[in-house]
A and B are shown apart, each in its own frame.
Chain A
Amino acid sequence: GQQVMQIPQYQHVQEGEDFTTYCNSSTTLSNIQWYKQRPGGHPVFLIQLVKSGEVKKQKRLTFQFGEAKKNSSLHITATQTTDVGTYFCAVYNAGNNRKLIWGLGTSLAVNP
């Protein structure tokens, strides 16, 4: 079945440093979604990318969808302690169940 690989699994940064997490697929994706889960919390939708080469920004967060629609990245500029959490990418499977296929997530720790 469809799979999405997400790296790195963990990342520790000093506050103010940048952070990037990557998602890769062997197949072309129709879209990709990004979620954030704070420790002890539930996933919260951040964004959905649909178009080839798409770039979207949300304040210090930049989301990119590759030209071939097989990879995506989430980049955080100048991390803050409020960025702590696990970032998941998820891709939509339009087949049975119309469900999301989830990456394993990247856990971000920010040292103040």
Chain B
Amino acid sequence: GAVVSQHPSWVICKSGTSVKIECRSLDFQATTMFWYRQFPKQSLMLMATSNEGSKATYEQGVEKDKFLINHASLTLSTLTVTSAHPEDSSFYICSARRGLDGGEQYFGPGTRLTVT
């Protein structure tokens, strides 16, 4: 149990276009979902936390108008990278947690975004 899927697994887009990444908890209801960004050989950088039905909470330095997060249901959250630029190229990973407090996070397989 506790499987999280993420789609697409990789995407190449042109500069200026938008890309949507989906994160789904397949066999449990995720009260909270997290979006991370990871650069090669580095730790996870939390971008935002989203709770179902409410606005996402963004970390300092993350542009909310550029990285749009929608947590429409207890099993689906989406991240849209708007007007992507080459510096947005990265590995984006979502995770889901059952409860509001504590507990482990279940990670999706990640999305490799390349902006040309």
Contacts and interface: CB of A to CB of B under 8 A. Distances in A.
A104 B42 CA distance: 7
A48 B93 CA distance: 21
Given A99-B34, A102-B43, A42 B104 contact: no
Interface in A67-95: 88, 92, 94
Interface string B85-116: 00000000101000011111111111000000
A98 B32 contact: yes
Nearest to A96: B57
B46 A99 contact: yes
Interface in B55-100: 57, 93, 95, 100
Interface of A: 30-31, 33, 41-45, 48, 88, 92, 94, 96-100, 102-105, 107
